[in-house]
Amino acid sequence: MAGKDVPVSPLAPKRQPKVPPIPGVRFATAEAGIRYKGRQDVWFALLDQGTQVAGVFTRSKCPSAPVDWCRENLSQGSARAVVVNSGNANAFTGLKGRDAVKLTAEIAAKAAGCKPEEVFIASTGVIGEPLDATKFKGVLDECAKRAADGPWIDAAKAIMTTDTFPKALTRKAKIDGKEVVIAGIAKGAGMIAPDMATMLSFVFTDAPIAAPVLQALLSKGVKGSFNAVTVDSDTSTSDTLMLFATGKAAARGVPAITEVNDIRLSGFKRALNSILLELAHLVCKDGEGARKFVEVRVTGAASARSAKRVALSIANSPLVKTALAGEDANWGRVVMAVGKAGEPADRDKLDIGFGDIVVAKQGARAPSYDEVAVSEYMKGDNIVITADLGLGRGKATVWTCDLTKAYVEINGDYRS
């Protein structure tokens, strides 16, 4: 159950940033009683007319009903409302699931004064349990009445499941010399008894950017951020990342952007990629039972694609992750993970390091290997693993956390 008796991750940021309002976005949270009692479990956002939308979703072949709904309605490019609930993922609920999504969209559309297909929906929580969407009746109406332009931290809290801290961030950027603002919230790979981890993230800007451009930016930006973090290699049926642009900054003279190659977008791109990356890192830092935040850098691979596969093989290896939990500089397990990736690799060209310390050089223990220095390094909260394959110029970086007994406890022991 969310937050109950679970200490905040030691990797949580020491303070929450102040996230400013995004012109054109208003929201409220409420207790719909979907599953939890006595906590906000619904977040309802209203978007001004003309808001453009883009999204990327789970690659699961068994996606949830809300994911199906969002994918279908994304093509029209405009959005007027977002409904997110925690407590029930409405996944693997058959025909009932589709009906629940439809009813949710109808209730939200009435409250927002828009068409159902302009409502985007995400659900997170238990799966296989029918979601009773009639619980949104009245609740969303009431939310619409008191919707305001903040605080974002409340939105971040309402979508949490077993996250131990809320995740809300902001960035500023300039388009043609004029400022635009970005705000984003995320919930992490938290588990909700008795169900699965789900990553949800919603990012908003007042920049006037057309939907196809937004989609291109998001699809590219996700590769090095949300698609480069892994907690336990498992993929939720509900993973959702959406980007909304209200266009309200046009009133301040920001030009409308309709081409992805528009040179005036460069600052915005950087800011967007930066917020996506930090949100993804926060998700990772709140991985179940995580005690260490781990960056895996692979260089010298045959290609960038090959480098990413090797990096994920290292980041997902239970033996690497348990060694990290044990603060053990077990480079042999890193070699093992490189070897099992199935990508081009040559044992005798492989260099492995922890932080700046080279532990293995060209396939054998480095002559300079200093056990004491490495052991000291492994005690830190932030660990960098480097692997140079010595073959080509392909490189990739991914992030993960360690695998602790707390992970097994959270995901296996909740019945006892």
Q: What residues numbered 18-47 form the site for a copy of itself, per CB under 8 A?
A: none
SS3 (DSSP) at 402: coil
- 146 to 165: interface string for a copy of itself, x by CB under 8 A: --------------------
- Of 41, 206, 286, 327, the one binding a copy of itself (CB under 8 A) is 327
**Minimum distance, C-beta of residue 31 to a copy of itself, in the bound complex (Å):** 25
Q: Cβ(144)–Cβ(42) under 8 Å?
A: no
Q: Between residues 111 and 345, which has the closer beta carbon with respect to a copy of itself? A: 345
How does DSSP assign 341-363, residue by residue? Answer: T-S---GGG-EEEETTEEEEETT
User: Starting from the edge strand earliest in sequence, which strands make up the sheet with 178-190, in order?
Assistant: 52-57, 240-245, 198-205, 178-190, 167-175
DSSP secondary-structure letter at 78?
B
393: left (phi over 0), alpha (psi -120 to 50) or beta: alpha
Number of residues interacting with a copy of itself: please give it, by CB under 8 A. Answer: 76
Strands (DSSP E) along 105-264, which ranges?
Answer: 119-126, 167-175, 178-190, 198-205, 229-230, 240-245
**Minimum distance, C-beta of residue 309 to a copy of itself, in the bound complex (Å):** 12
Residue 379 near a copy of itself by CB under 8 A: no
- Of 270, 365, 380, 381, the one binding a copy of itself (CB under 8 A) is 365
Instruction: Could you list the residues known to form a binding site for substrate, using ranges.
Output: 161, 187, 198, 288, 411, 416
235 classed as catalytic:
no
Pick the stretch among 15-23, 76-84, 244-252, 345-353 that binds a copy of itself (CB under 8 A): 345-353
Q: What residues numbered 177-196 form the site for a copy of itself, per CB under 8 A?
A: 191, 194-196
- Of 49, 233, 266, 382, the one binding a copy of itself (CB under 8 A) is 233
415 exposure class (CB count in 10 Å sphere: 0-12, 13-18, 19+): exposed
Residue 96 near a copy of itself by CB under 8 A: yes
Q: What residues numbered 388-407 form the site for a copy of itself, per CB under 8 A?
A: 402-405, 407
Active-site position among 93, 162, 198, 400 = 198
DSSP secondary-structure letter at 410?
H
What amino acid positions are annotated as catalytic residues? 198
